[in-house]
Structure 1
Amino acid sequence: MKAPKTSHKNELTSAEIANIWLSYQNDTLSICTIGAFLSHVEDKEIRSVLELVMKQARAHVKKLKSFFTEEQLPIPDGFSEEVDVHKEAPRLYTDDFYLFYIQNIGKIGLKTYSLALSNSARLDMCEYFTECLHESTKVLNKATEIMLSKGTFIRAPYIPAPKKVEYVQKERYLAGWFGNRRPLNAIEMSNIYFNLIQNQLGRTLIMGFSQVAKSQQVRDYMVRGRDIADKHVETFGSVLSKDLLPSASSWSILPTDSSVAPFSDKLMMFHVTALNSASIGHYGQSMGMSPRHDLGAHYVRLTAEVAKYANDGANIMIENGWMEQPPQGPDRDEIARTNK
């Protein structure tokens, strides 16, 4: 469907500017990351998924640039293959990790584009993010299909099929601290599984970053993030184990032993920043969907830990001049003070 012509020009809202600004950052990051993966991938099926993602990201950047130009907005710096990718670096991750990365980053993309679409008013913005959603779905499904065929897809725990519809009868349904605690419900299991898998992705990715970052400050930060992700994996796994449920299979594919950085420290720090943001969002949503009180306490504690880690990462980026500032509203107080 084509956007109808109007007799006046609708300016972009703050939400729409935020959507295209964040999309530009993420798509230029994707071009750099996937480009480095493509220089080493050997499996033909996995290469086909990476090439599809690269094709989509390049088309997105071209379209996003046109939005910025048409609206007379500065095009963000984002990331570039010339500055932020070191093409001579040896392989840091395996082909199986490339596929695992695409499949799970795809989940984050779906949530990001859904939010962008729901916050958009102008029809050209709605059409663009609708198309991005369709493309992300295609990539996610293709990656999942290949993982299933290779036997590398990590499944959530199985439970017996319910025999009847039931309603909650007692307040103890919400309890979770002491005594006769009820079993996890399927929604709680689903969220635990999702967060466990995302932390497995983060742990492997950051483990690789910790080996290759040039700055000692960044290497130390990555080691800390690796350990946090590992602890969160153990926390979610233990919740399942205490309810006598099998934990989601552990992702055991580790980075290579390379110590040569395929990416700039700036790109790796931004990558971790994006994962931190996604993690906080997932934990908040999971907490809202988990009535058992002990689960809420877990999510509060883990969110606070990620938030502290994210804040320290932001300070590192600011100190090094790596944090590109999003468009922001005018400082009315500053205008009032200086207009004398």
Structure 2
Amino acid sequence: MKSESLKFIQTGRKKRQLRFRLVTVSLAVLAILLCGAMLMLGNTIYPVGVVLRALSGEQISGASFAVSTIRLPRMLAGLFAGFAFGLGGTVFQTMLRNPLANPNVIGITSGSSAAAVFFIVILHTSGAIVSAVSVAAGLVTVLIIYLLSRGKSFSIGRLILVGIGIQAMLDAMISYLLLIGAEQDLPAAFRWLSGSLNGSKMDQLPPLFISVLILTPVVLMLSKQLNILELGEQAATSLGVRTDMTRVLLILSSVIMISIATAMTGPIAFVAFLSGPIAKRLIGAGFSSVIPGGLVGVNLVLAADLIGQFAFTVRYPAGIITGILGAPYLIYLLIRMNRKGEL
């Protein structure tokens, strides 16, 4: 009887493991195809061979500039920012055991956005200064939210409520700044707020590359503790997890990546919100959804940018497309949670 039960468990685990690997590989392959499409498509469509020659450094009239100077930075910005948004959102939702607990909803990206808009429309700055300030503001915002929700003990519900309140305040601040801002500064502010890969430059991207490459292994090393945190505070503590330390490391890693990605591309709406649930639905239970969540984020950003560029007569930023996808899901999620009594 025991051997049959053990065999049944092992068979189930192998099936789940196979599903996890197939989904992860499929998401990675789709991301590679979308990256290729980003390099090939534009006002002029270049075949794969021409793209590869241009990337290798060969000088091809028209193609070298279009591929290496315009399309490659745009693709890399979407690749790394999408991964940062997807991974960070998945970490927040898993750690706090609530799909609403993501940087878009609890005010972290609003903190970065408010600071960036202030520096654009009031101080008339741009470029690296705006990026640095938006990163710092994202970190300060999450620190304030965490401290206000801490109380005598950590509370997920309190964190979400505090975050939603701070987000409302910051969104009101953004609206006020746009209202009083000089007319010539508003296009830059609106372009930043919409979340776009337009204007991505290679020399601006190293902070994004470095943050993702350094902090992703940190999150992966804590993925086991992250899955245990999903069981609840008491269960995690009884299993030997240092909950406060683990939570702080996960939050800092995720927020730094998301803040830097936001500084590079603006707040691309709902990518952090959608990636985790989609990844979990695809891979099923039993395995960490951190890497699949990051890959879903990549695919959402790249696909949204391609759709925004080529599916309509007018070109739209990626954030507009992801916002159209994310808003109905948020409404559906709120209705479902309300019916279950989770709100």
Common fold by TM > 0.5: no
Normalised by the length of structure 1, the TM-score is 0.24
More helix by share: 2
- Larger relative contact order (CA 8 Å, sep ≥ 6): 2
Normalised by the length of structure 2, the TM-score is 0.24
